Amino acid sequence: MQAAADYGKSRARRRIAANQGEVKIAYWLFKSEPGAWSWEDQVKEGAAEWDGVRNHQANNNMAAMKIGDKAFFYHSVNEKRIVGIVEVVKEHYPDPTDASGRFGMVDVKAVEPVESPVTLADIKAEPRLENMALVRQSRLSVTPVAADEWKIICAMAGVKA
């Protein structure tokens, strides 16, 4: 539940900062099966919608996203590794592939690949990441990432935080 608490604190900090004229970005992680939508597909497409999410918690995470938020692009299934960084370029809006009308989507664009992919095993081996939502809620496709987790993983990936 620590990840949920961190997530709530992150949203509160963003609201406070926005009221003071400063907007802080939040961090996220998007999981994708590389056979369905890979990092290479994202790079080739540029900005693209992140549709098809049918989990309420993952949808709520996307609804909390703001333009400029950053996210790790994670290849799931056999690879289980962070391979790139994307940025939210369009906030939550209805997903036309959802006949029920309950779920939405955001648009993201590729920012950069990571120098060194960071595997799930790498993340689990780092004690400072033991409460990360990716570890604690492994089946969730869109998760929050705390600012300190973002910095740790960026360092592991060889990219600037």
pLDDT of 161 > 80? The answer is yes
Q: For 90-149, what is each residue's pLDDT tens digit?
A: 999 999 999 999 999 999 999 999 999 999 999 999 999 999 999 999 999 999 999 999
Q: Which residues of 5-30 are buried (b: 16+ CB within 10 A; e: fewer)?
A: ebbeebeeebeeeeeeeeeebbbbbb
Task: With cut-offs at 50, 70 and 90, classify the pLDDT of residue 55.
Answer: very high
Rg (CA), the chain: 15
d(CA 40, CA 138): 23
Q: Give the number of other Cβ atoms within 10 Å of residue 115's Cβ.
A: 10
Sequence letter at residue 152:
I
% of the chain with per-residue pLDDT over 90: 85
Residue 21, pLDDT score: 62
φ/ψ (deg, to 5) at 90: -145, 130
CA dist 9 to 23, 120, 146, Å? 15, 25, 9
- As given in the structure block, the two tokens for residue 114 are 């990571």
Q: For 68-85, what is each residue's pLDDT tens digit?
A: 999 999 999 999 999 999
d(CA 39, CA 147): 23
Q: Are 67 and 91 in contact (CB under 8 A)?
A: yes
φ/ψ (deg, to 5) at 67: -55, 135
Q: Are 32 and 76 in contact (CB under 8 A)?
A: yes
Global confidence as pTM: 0.86
Task: With cut-offs at 50, 70 and 90, classify the pLDDT of residue 24.
Answer: confident
| Average pLDDT over all residues of the chain | 90
Q: Give the alpha-carbon dihedral of 79, 84, 89, 94, to 10 degrees.
A: 0
CATH superfamily label, 2-157: ph1033 like domains (3.10.590.10)
Kindly report the length of the chain.
161
pLDDT of 7 > 50? The answer is no
